[in-house]
Amino acid sequence: MKTNQEMVRYIDNFSVIQRTSDGYFDANGLLNQWNSVEGNPERSMKRFLDSPKTNEFIEALINDESQRSKMQFPDIQAVKSIKSRTLKDGSKTIGQVWMHPLLFIKFAMWINPTFEVKVLRFVYDEMIRYRNDAGDAYKELSSAVMKIVPSHFMPKAMQKIGEALNWIIFNSHEKMLRNKHGDEGKLRELWQLEKKIAGLIEEGFISTYEQLISYLRKLYRKNWEPKVLTV
């Protein structure tokens, strides 16, 4: 079971909450902020959710998620609402409407055409951020590798390590491969893996080039080799 935390993200001047357990966003929090700004045309959650276009999108989204996760249709929810409730001190909590990330993007763009540009910028910037983070983590990894290989072998060692990382994450290799991938999830995986390997070297768990290559081979087999069914 995943431990849930709530992260605060920003789209322009609006803060949005995303929970780590399933990646869902609190759409009602964004809506309340939008409606509280003087001069903004008021938007209704009910109007958005009752829209035929929204329902068509939700159906397509759930079908796609069902195919990806191999779950049955009823087990997947694109919207999860939590009603407001009265606390012991008499105060009330604010109701939350947690939306699947893709539905949330559609909702945020529906709020306002001008705001739509901000949402698209938010999505684009997140993808670019992970690509840049992966580049920075690669430099961090290089600094760590320098501690376990001779200086004259560094160019060759980093070439082999870079190839191995591509195979582990993308199951392929070519020059500048990471720049050709627009998949935020893959770029995030690459960034996390580079950080992890650098940490293992810094902490002494990997102390030789041979150990590092062996570790990378194990990761590749884990990610891509077919699992043999055992009885």
Task: Give 183-226 pLDDT, tens digit per residue.
Answer: 566 777 888 899 999 999 999 999 999 999 999 999 999 988 87
Longest dimension (CA), the chain: 70
Residue 46 has pLDDT above 70, yes or no: yes
**Residue carrying structure tokens 């759930």:** 62
What is the pLDDT confidence band of residue 136, given thresholds at 50, 70 and 90?
Answer: confident
Over 80: is that where the pLDDT of 27 sits? yes
Give the model's pLDDT for residue 32: 94
List Cα–Cα distances, 143 to 190, 210, 227, in angstroms.
17, 17, 35
Instruction: Determine the distance from the C-alpha atom of residue 109 to the mean position of all C-alpha atoms in its chain, rounded to a whole number.
Output: 19
What angle (nearest 5°) sits at the alpha carbon of residue 187, between those of residues 185 and 188?
A: 65
Beta bridge partners of 19: 6
Q: How far apart are CA 142 and CA 133, in angstroms?
A: 14
pTM, two decimals, is: 0.51
Cβ count within 10 A of residue 179? 11
CA distance 11 to 119: 6
Across the range 82-102, mean pLDDT stands at 72
- How confident is the model over 140-197, as pLDDT tens digits? 999 999 999 999 999 999 999 989 998 998 888 766 555 454 456 677 788 889 999 9
**Cβ density class 9-18: b for 16+ within 10 Å, e for less:** eebeebebbb
- What CA–CA distance (Å, rounded) separates 206 from 201? 5
User: How far is it, in rounded angstroms, from Cα 161 to Cα 213?
Assistant: 7
Residues 87-91 have a mean pLDDT of: 59
CB 213 within 8 A of CB 148: no
Quote the CA–CA distance of 87 and 114 in Å, as a whole number. 38
Element (DSSP H or E) covering residue 81? strand 79-82
